[in-house]
A and B are shown apart, each in its own frame.
Chain A
């Protein structure tokens, strides 16, 4: 059974008149395109490297200055880079700024984490499709509101409301900024936690219902523990977002760098300081100017640690079904 091909058979018309592209050309253009696309993604690596290089190089100008000691920076409780003109008397201790950030961020987290999580539980376990169809877009709108708008909202409504409740609040205070940052983080916590909750397979829920559990039992005792890694990583991402939030605190938290944990006081945060420094007329090249980068590298290290930790938790402790 040897199959011989008829040799003189002409090609069918369709194929004879067709101009075939050369495979070599396609493969060549394929290679060029892959190289181009790879270059696009290498650009993201270049961005990361540039961020690290920029922060290290410029903050080196700060830390190597004779007016700055690294231990004072890490443990000092006075920060007078903007208030003191005489460079020999300026104190560079990060704690006033750090305490401002901690105050604002804790208040924000007190609001965003429980409320965001409860909303997520409601959306994934209780809500009827109709309510979901209303709530989801509203949360998306809330997530899309620019931060400067929330900052304005904080000074327009939240601060006066707080002063009505208790006159001991400063006009600019950590609480009003914290509440606004909390509103900002809430949709983020909610959507990330909801993703984690809805990734829990249906069979687990049905198992609980089969054993006679109520919806409360299902959501609190089974679904939430199963989604815990996702929820914690959502919390960490929101935390890192709140620490890096800038415009709200620049508008509503005030400009005095107090070392205190009283949420009623003015509190300049790390990001708030960067904005105030950009507004001041300090020259490029002074030690005060470079202190900007000392603060920025601290901010970067903290948020970077949070993000990495969040991803590690999500990857390592993910329950796979």
Chain B
């Protein structure tokens, strides 16, 4: 029944093939141009990265030497300034941050991914938890800084206010307090145990018992101005003037702990842990989701409980992904400046790394910020040098992450 006389539809008859071809070429040309435009824009980010690294490298290369890596900030002489305390500080803060944020983050990722409840109310709570984590990831880091300031540094002033040269807060362990007095030989001091925490100075009126500067018990003698000075240096070292005034001295062990935490590296590390917690949860969740459900089902089919499945099957399978996310989050933590600035106050003059849990510290981003704010040209160069060190550390961490990711691909493939 095929009628060959049927005319073709007018659209196809009236076709001007040359015009159509020209149009097609034009459209293809347009597409090609768009492709080029996109390529150029995409290459722009490469250019930006190269310019950024080159300019900072050029500026800061000359300032990296041994002094720079072993000394501390010097407000007078930039030639003698270095970044050693900040490297130690950054590493310790990050370690603390990893120790707290990783278990909690991975734990809640496991709970959210692997233990989905069946009860409708619990499921609603579950959904809310998930939404809450995405929202936390969007909170500006400086708000976390303020959270750290009120919750960790001041603790809503529940334990009183911390004050300089006063006994304040609630001590737990690791501190011994003395009144410190200069002895007669002018080079050593004697210590008298603190009796009244409200009284931060003491006036010595008579002989008493106390300690020498190495905390060995000694008898402290008193010398009056009108008497001859003792000649024996050992006696001289434990003699003080009558009515000499001593100030408060705190000897803190490394495990010294008190509440509120104050502007300590403990507070900084915990604040930073809060900042990266949502990042760790989200990346661990993705890693867990990527584990094929057949593995879980096989394990459950063999009679394991859910937790046994997670511990023995799911978590090991997801581990490379979890670790990659964790390392990337640590990279974020080590470069994060705003929350630490709010918690620690941005001082960069510290000469060593943190010496006890309640000690303040400098981190690399804070040091870079402090130097970059300084108009002296040499400090600007130092800032660039510190940036190079920071970027090299980040690069090392990221290469570990990339290596792990490659391992992961091998595992799943």
List chain A positions with a Cβ less than 8 A from chain B: 26-27, 29-30, 33-34, 36-38, 40-41, 43-45, 47-48, 50-51, 54-55, 57-58, 114-115, 118-119, 121-123, 126-127, 131, 135, 137-142, 144-153, 155-157, 183, 186-187, 190, 212, 214-217, 219-220, 237, 240-241, 243-247, 250-251, 271, 274-275, 278-279, 284, 292-293, 296, 299-300, 303-304, 306-308, 310-311
Contacts and interface: CB of A to CB of B under 8 A. Distances in A.
Given A119-B41, A246-B141, A152 B111 contact: no
B305 interface: yes
B7 interface: no
A140 B397 CA distance: 13
Contacts of A251: 369, 372-373
Contacts of B142: 244, 246, 271, 274-275, 296, 299
Contacts of B372: 148, 151-152, 155, 251
B31 A44 contact: no
B107 A54 contact: no
B191 interface: no
B143 A118 contact: no
A214 B380 CA distance: 51
A227 to B, nearest CB: 16
A49 to B, nearest CB: 10
A146 B338 CA distance: 11
Interface stretch (B32-40, B170-178, B236-244, B354-362): B32-40
A-side binding surface: helix, strand, loop or mixed? helix
B230 to A, nearest CB: 46
Interface in B365-413: 365, 368-369, 372-373, 380, 383-384, 387, 390-391, 394, 398, 402
Contacts of B37: 118
Contact of A118 (B42, B49, B383): B42
B106 to A, nearest CB: 8
Nearest to B311: A33
Interface in B22-77: 24, 27-28, 30-31, 34-35, 37-39, 41-42, 44-46, 48-49, 51-52, 55-56, 59
A54 B146 contact: yes
A214 B387 contact: no
Contacts of A306: 138
22 contacts: A37-B107, A40-B104, A44-B133, A119-B45, A123-B42, A137-B402, A144-B335, A146-B336, A146-B390, A148-B369, A149-B52, A156-B59, A240-B138, A240-B140, A250-B338, A274-B146, A275-B342, A296-B142, A299-B140, A300-B140, A304-B135, A304-B139
Given A54-B147, A135-B42, A299-B140, A44 B281 contact: yes
Contacts of B336: 146-147
A241 B142 CA distance: 11
A36 B136 CA distance: 21
Interface in B11-29: 24, 27-28
Contacts of A137: 402
B343 to A, nearest CB: 9
B179 interface: no
A214 B134 contact: no
A137 B395 CA distance: 12
B132 A147 contact: no
A142 B335 CA distance: 13
A157 B52 CA distance: 9
B184 interface: no
B112 interface: yes
Contacts of A40: 103-105, 107-108, 111
Contact of A303 (B35, B140, B380): B140
A99 B147 CA distance: 25
Contact of A115 (B44, B147, B365, B390): B44
B134 A215 contact: no
Given A214-B27, A300-B143, A306-B138, A183 B48 contact: yes
B55 A27 contact: no
Interface size class of B (residues with CB under 8 A): 35 or more
Contacts of B96: none
A192 to B, nearest CB: 12
Contacts of B115: 34, 37-38
Contacts of A138: 45-46, 49
Nearest to B107: A40
B31 A216 contact: yes
Nearest to A35: B111
Given A122-B39, A141-B398, A279-B346, A311 B136 contact: no
B302 interface: no
Given A34-B306, A274-B145, 12 more contacts: A30-B308, A40-B103, A40-B107, A41-B108, A44-B278, A122-B39, A147-B337, A152-B387, A190-B45, A214-B27, A215-B31, A299-B140
The 9 closest A-B pairs by CB, nearest first: A244-B140, A146-B335, A307-B138, A40-B107, A41-B108, A122-B38, A214-B31, A37-B111, A216-B31
A221 B263 CA distance: 55
Given A44-B136, A51-B139, A214-B28, A250 B369 contact: yes
Contacts of A244: 139-143
B151 interface: yes
A244 B141 CA distance: 7
Interface in B279-312: 281, 305-308
Contact of B398 (A58, A144, A153, A190): A144
B129 interface: yes
Interface in B108-159: 108, 110-112, 115, 129, 131-136, 138-147, 150-151, 154, 156
Given A119-B38, A247-B338, A36 B365 contact: no
A140 B324 CA distance: 13
B73 to A, nearest CB: 16
B181 interface: no
Contacts of B387: 149, 152
